[in-house]
Every structure is written in structure tokens, then in C-alpha cells.
Copies of this chain bind each other. A is one copy, B any other.
Amino acid sequence: MKTNPGNYFEDFRVGQKIAHATPRTLNHGDVALYQALYGSRFALQSSDAFAQAVGLPKSPLDDLLVFHTVFGKSVPDISLNAVANLGYAEGRFLRPVYPGETLSAHSEVIGLKENSNRQTGVVYVRTHGMNEKDEQVLTYVRWVMVRKRDPEAAVPDAVVPALATSVPAQDLHLSPHLKFDALFDTSISGSKHCWDDYKIGEKIDHVDGITVEEAEHMMATRLYQNTARVHFNQFSEGKGRFGRRLIYGGHVISLARAISFNGLANAHIVVGINGGRHVNPLFAGGTVFAWSEVLDKQPAGHRKDAGLVRLRLVATKDLPCSDFPDKDANGAYPENVILDFDYWAVMPRA
């Protein structure tokens, strides 16, 4: 058979290394489409002049565009037969990516655990994104529930990797060329609030809502060359469990991150992903809102110009966030909460 059937749970082995197909050169067209799809306004990614004023050669690509591109490469090998994308951990962005760079990806299987019904199992992979010079730009772990081809197939003993609850601050990468104090004008960035102004425990309602259309999430997901079928095929999904196309979870992350500009305008760079769960599905026609919580603050090494802030980004559908809708004491989420994402960002200090 010449078409790719994807891997099933019993095809994976711990320690297996998989080179993913289709390297992808990202360019100014991807930047503009990302802009048109999400409406992001972080100055560093929006303006070459701003980027140069703080020490970079030009605007880097949005970190999440890099993430989605690397993630997309892994789909045909890892999650074509997935039931659900369960979580992320240990994500680190290791260097800025600029227009013209070519990204490729490879993964290592680091854990496997069959489910008790023997129909499915959880696959843990560590995925690495590389540029065309074979420099690593991103690494992260994700785990995903994958169907078995044959429920009776024998599988190896369970291996569940020990994953960090969050990426330690000292392991995060911040470009040494970036100098926020060189020329940081908060009237240009859209907010005067810098690292020192945020308190641990503080919650921010990002106020704005964005309704998602079918054309938008499909264009985004194709831009990332993500081939998961649930996003594109109304003919088959119309007969499936939701009766509709499911929106790629990463689309929600990018929408929520763009919405979070209103309240976090100086959180210019995502440097780490501590965790993330897509706790409910989103469908076209839904309106996405978001709120953030400051989980932690750490210095960025010995730097005086920048600090690290650990943020929890919660997205909802059709539910404004002035009341900070959240999971209950048992960890159960209301049906309108769709994303719980935990990341590290870099902010300038005052």
C-alpha cells in the first residue's frame, strides 16, 4: 500500500527514533497568514524596527508558529490514528527562528502504556525541531492516545516517563543578543506593565473574544501541514462522534495567546511549555475568550533587563472570562473551558 496508514499503538517501541517527513521553509507569507488568522500584536514579532531596537537582526517568527510547524511534521507518524492529544511537557524554545529558515522534526518514543481495554494505548514522544543548519530550535514532550490496529496484539511492558511539572527557569533559553533595556519604549509595545508589575497569583481577564470560522482553522492547520483528518473532512466527521470538524487544539492556543496581548502586551516571547491540555473540543462558530494567571516569576539568569514569568493561559468558548472560569476542586473542567496551558514567557523589567 502506497498511502500512509500511520502507526498504530503496537507499532511503537520505547527508544524508537522517527525522522518526520517534509521539511518546511517558513517565510514572510507564513508571518502574514499567522497575523491574519490570530491578530497578534506583540511588538517583537510585529516590527523589524522594534526587534532591531532590542538587539535582534529582525522580527523572529512567532514561537507558536514554530511549535505548530514542528508539531505538524510529527502528525503523520505519531498521531494519525490518535483518539486524543493528551498533554505537553518539557517544552523549550532554544533559539529564535527567522523567515527563510527551514524546519524539520524528529521524535523519540520515550514511553508506552496500553490502556486496560486493549483498544488503545498512550504513546509518549519527545520531539525535536531543527533548522536547516541542524541547530535545535525546539524540543517538547507530548503524549497521545493511539488506537491499536489489533486489540489482541501483544505489547511491551508499560514505560511511563518521569516528566517535570514545569521547566526549571535555568533551563530556559533567552537570546543573548536581546537587550530589552537598549531601547524599550512601552508606548510602542502597547503597555507600560513590565515584569516587576505582575504578582504571583494575579489573574487577568483578557476581555476580547474571537469567533472562529471553518475556513480559518482549516487554513491554519494546512499552513502547519498538519494532516489529522478530523480537522478537514466534514463528509466523514459529519458521521462521527461530534458531527462536525474538530478544530486543531493548537489553533486555540494561538488564539488565546493573541487575545492575551490585552493585559500581557510585554510578554513578548514564549520560552517554555510546562504543560497543556485541550480539556474540551472547539467547533467553528464558537467564540474564544481567555484569562491568565501568574503562576511564578523568576529572574532570567543574572539579567537586569528581563525576567521570566510562568503563566497559566485558560481559554473558553462562548463564555467571557471576567469570573475566571476554572476547574473545580476535583479537577473537572466546565464544558465551556477548552484549554489549560502552562508556559514561560519573557518580559522586560521596568
Main secondary structure of the interface of A (DSSP, over half): mixed
B-contact bits for A40-80, CB 8 A (1 contact / 0 none): 01010011111000000011000000000000000010000
Q: Are B190 and A211 in contact (CB under 8 A)?
A: no
Closest Cβ–Cβ distance, residue A230 to chain B (whole Å): 11
Q: Are B22 and A43 in contact (CB under 8 A)?
A: yes
Q: Are A23 and B47 in contact (CB under 8 A)?
A: yes
- Tallying the copies of this chain within the complex gives 3
Does A28 interact with chain B (Cβ within 8 Å)?
A: yes
Q: Are B24 and A102 in contact (CB under 8 A)?
A: no
Does A265 interact with chain B (Cβ within 8 Å)?
A: yes
Q: Are B213 and A232 in contact (CB under 8 A)?
A: no
> For chain A residues 167-200, which have a beta carbon within 8 Å of chain B?
187-191, 193, 197
14 cross-chain CB contacts under 8 A: A3-B206, A3-B263, A21-B188, A23-B50, A25-B58, A28-B99, A29-B31, A30-B32, A36-B219, A36-B220, A48-B102, A211-B235, A216-B218, A236-B287
Q: Which residues of A contact B (CB under 8 A)?
A: 2-4, 19, 21-25, 27-33, 35-39, 41, 43, 46-50, 58-59, 76, 99-100, 102, 104, 132, 187-191, 193, 197, 204-211, 213-216, 218-223, 225, 227, 229, 232-236, 245, 262-265, 285, 287, 289, 318, 320
